[in-house]
Amino acid sequence: MLSKKTKYALHALTYLGKHKDQKTVLIQEIAEEHGISHKFLENILLELKKAGMLGSKKGKGGGYYLIKEPKDIPLSKVIRLLDGPIAMLPCVSLNYYEPCDECKNEAVCGINRVMIQVRDETLKILENKSLEDILKEE
């Protein structure tokens, strides 16, 4: 299941997507809309900004705004950023690889092989769904 961080991120991105005619949107506004703690959401928006999905403006009248087209923000990117690996096992993760400690020999592990297939097929899904798909449904 997605962490709250990722869920909040998706809600925030959706909100920003729906208000992209405005120059900026306040953290407070998004937080209130979804009942999220201001400070917690702030950390999340910061991460999204560092990852290049959002821009922000400081000072009075500032706020956040989408810096990319919704179609260029795939779910895979958001999930990886806030939740980490998409793969089901560390030993098949493309971005966060680590050996599994209960696995004696990865080279001959059937679980590993099957999970690589699962990962590839799952990635196809998550790379093809974007913020745009969410916005189209609202």
Residues at the interface with its own copies (CB under 8 A): 1-2, 4, 7-8, 10-11, 14, 33-36, 75, 84-85, 87-90, 100-104, 108-111, 113-114, 117-118, 121-122, 125-126, 129, 133-138
Element (H, E) at 56: strand 54-57
Q: Which of its own copies, DNA, none does residue 94 bind to, with CB < 5 to 8 Å depending on kind?
A: none
Element (H, E) at 127: helix 110-128
Residue of 21, 23, 84, 12 whose CA lies nearest to 53? 12
Cα 129 to Cα 17, 36, 77, 79, 133: the distances in Å are: 15, 25, 10, 12, 6
Residue of 60, 83, 75 whose CA lies nearest to 13? 75
Q: Which of DNA, its own copies, none does residue 104 bind to, with CB < 5 to 8 Å depending on kind?
A: its own copies
Q: Which of DNA, its own copies, none does residue 3 bind to, with CB < 5 to 8 Å depending on kind?
A: DNA
> Which residues lie near DNA (CB under 7 A)?
3-5, 24, 26-28, 36-37, 39-40, 42-43, 45-46, 49-50, 56-64, 83-84
Q: Given the complex with its own copies, which of 21 and 101 has the nearer CB atom?
A: 101
